[in-house]
């Protein structure tokens, strides 16, 4: 298995991956949608409401909302309710695959680097408010900076990392608070770790979240994270009615291991630190990267049956798993 990060893929993409990407490109092949995505990517706060965007593209807010809905369904923007308004931001996939495409070339990489400090400062302020009473602003800032460095070490497009840094740092701070007993874990915490965090671990976490609902929580990480998710994941999960959510490949950190009750490793060898009091399982599941669709479906089905077995063990007796399937 080649997991060299920092190199362009030397192996041509499969037909099924090409089909997935073609579908996304068809959605993007529309001037209004391209302009909206470009505005979101260039937006210094990393997110905007339909009203803000409408003012910049000379279109009505309802037309803009429609296009944002189409982009959302194609997994290129994420949306979140903030008080009375809905804000949109580019998805990880959109940043990884299309940021360079919609760039006009005027803001060079140097300008991007200058902006990063200011944006990270804002991210730290937002998270400090969210974690106030749990962590000091200094701890939050240290986590934000470290999370940024962990992500940027593997990404070439550092300019677009702040929004990912925010969700990665928030997840790690929550895990840290759980591990230290400051936040009580209401439900069993399962951590799935594979090599690239773009296939197996994401499949397993999506299936677990779908089957367990609120009764268990899943996190994912990779020992050598890829730059983008495996494009076929959406399809094979969609076929069984499981949403993928706003996921992106991220590195393995100590805090998420410490917060876990169950650690499931898949092909990442001994990259995962071992702590007492956690149950460690190693699943021999093939890497779906570069495989034909039928094999990816077989891998998916393997993951589904293993997660069913895991939930039977993880969830308290009497709460049966599998009942929520489909």
Binding residues vs other proteins (CB under 8 A):
8-13, 15, 18-19, 21-23, 25-26, 28-32, 34-35, 38-39, 42-45, 48-49, 51-56, 61, 96-102, 104, 106-107, 226-228
Contacts 24+ apart (CB under 8 A), 82-85: 85/49, 85/51
Q: How far apart are CA 22 and CA 16, in angstroms?
A: 10
In the complex, the smallest distance separating the C-beta of residue 55 from other proteins, rounded to whole angstroms, is 4
In the complex, the smallest distance separating the C-beta of residue 163 from other proteins, rounded to whole angstroms, is 14
Q: How far apart are CA 43 and CA 170, in angstroms?
A: 21
Tell me whether residue 87 or residue 264 sits nearer to other proteins (CB atom): 87
In the complex, the smallest distance separating the C-beta of residue 35 from other proteins, rounded to whole angstroms, is 5
CB atoms within 10 A of CB 162: 22
Q: How far apart are CA 2 and CA 28, in angstroms?
A: 31
Q: How far apart are CA 242 and CA 210, in angstroms?
A: 6
Nearest to 291 by CA among 246, 220, 236: 236
Phi first, then psi, for residue 148 (nearest 5°) are -60, -45
In the complex, the smallest distance separating the C-beta of residue 208 from other proteins, rounded to whole angstroms, is 26
Tell me whether residue 67 or residue 306 sits nearer to other proteins (CB atom): 67
Tell me whether residue 26 or residue 82 sits nearer to other proteins (CB atom): 26
Pairing mode of beta strands 48-49, 85-90: antiparallel
Tell me whether residue 118 or residue 319 sits nearer to other proteins (CB atom): 118
Tell me whether residue 35 or residue 220 sits nearer to other proteins (CB atom): 35
Share in percent of the chain as helix, strand, coil (round to 5)? 50, 10, 40
Sign of CA dihedral 70, 56, 21, 112: negative
Which residues are within 8 A (CB) of 70 and not within 5 positions of it... i.e. 6 or more apart? 27, 33
**Residues shown for the chain:** 326
Tell me whether residue 42 or residue 125 sits nearer to other proteins (CB atom): 42
In the complex, the smallest distance separating the C-beta of residue 10 from other proteins, rounded to whole angstroms, is 5
In the complex, the smallest distance separating the C-beta of residue 24 from other proteins, rounded to whole angstroms, is 8
In the complex, the smallest distance separating the C-beta of residue 262 from other proteins, rounded to whole angstroms, is 31
Residues 82, 65 contacting (CB under 8 angstroms)? no
Tell me whether residue 4 or residue 270 sits nearer to other proteins (CB atom): 4
In the complex, the smallest distance separating the C-beta of residue 51 from other proteins, rounded to whole angstroms, is 4
In the complex, the smallest distance separating the C-beta of residue 54 from other proteins, rounded to whole angstroms, is 6
Tell me whether residue 267 or residue 290 sits nearer to other proteins (CB atom): 290
R_g of the chain computed on alpha carbons: 20
Nearest to 77 by CA among 104, 107, 108, 99: 99
Tell me whether residue 186 or residue 292 sits nearer to other proteins (CB atom): 292
Strands across the sheet containing 279-282 = 217-222, 189-194, 262-265, 279-282
């Amino acid at each position: 298995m080649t997991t060299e990060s920092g190199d362009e893929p030397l192996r041509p993409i499969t037909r099924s991956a090409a089909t997935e990407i073609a579908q996304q490109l068809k959605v993007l092949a529309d001037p209004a949608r391209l302009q909206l995505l470009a505005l979101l990517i260039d937006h210094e706060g990393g997110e905007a409401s339909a009203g803000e965007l409408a003012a910049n593209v000379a279109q009505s807010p309802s037309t803009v909302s429609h296009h944002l809905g189409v982009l959302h369904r194609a997994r290129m923007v994420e949306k979140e309710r903030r008080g009375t308004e809905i804000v949109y931001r580019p998805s990880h996939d959109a940043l990884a695959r299309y940021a360079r495409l919609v760039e006009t070339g005027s803001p060079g990489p140097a300008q991007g680097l200058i902006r990063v400090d200011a944006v990270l400062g804002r991210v730290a302020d937002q998270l400090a408010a969210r974690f106030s009473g749990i962590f000091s602003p200094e701890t939050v800032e240290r986590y934000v900076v470290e999370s940024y460095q962990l992500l940027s070490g593997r990404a070439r497009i550092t300019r677009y990392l702040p929004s990912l840094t925010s969700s990665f740092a928030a997840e790690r701070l929550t895990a840290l608070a759980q591990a230290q007993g400051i936040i009580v874990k209401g439900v069993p915490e399962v951590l799935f770790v594979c090599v690239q965090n773009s296939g197996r671990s994401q499949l397993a976490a999506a299936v677990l979240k779908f089957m367990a609902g609120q009764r268990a929580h899943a996190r994912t990480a990779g020992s050598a994270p890829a730059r983008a998710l495996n494009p076929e994941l959406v399809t094979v999960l969609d076929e069984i009615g499981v949403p993928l959510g706003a996921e992106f490949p991220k590195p393995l950190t100590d805090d998420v291991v410490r917060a876990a009750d169950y650690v499931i490793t898949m092909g990442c060898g001994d990259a995962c630190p071992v702590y007492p009091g956690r149950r460690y399982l190693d699943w021999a599941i093939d890497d779906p990267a570069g495989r034909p669709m039928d094999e990816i479906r077989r891998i998916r089905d393997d993951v589904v049956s293993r997660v069913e077995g895991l939930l039977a063990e993880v969830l308290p007796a009497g709460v049966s798993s599998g009942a929520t399937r489909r």
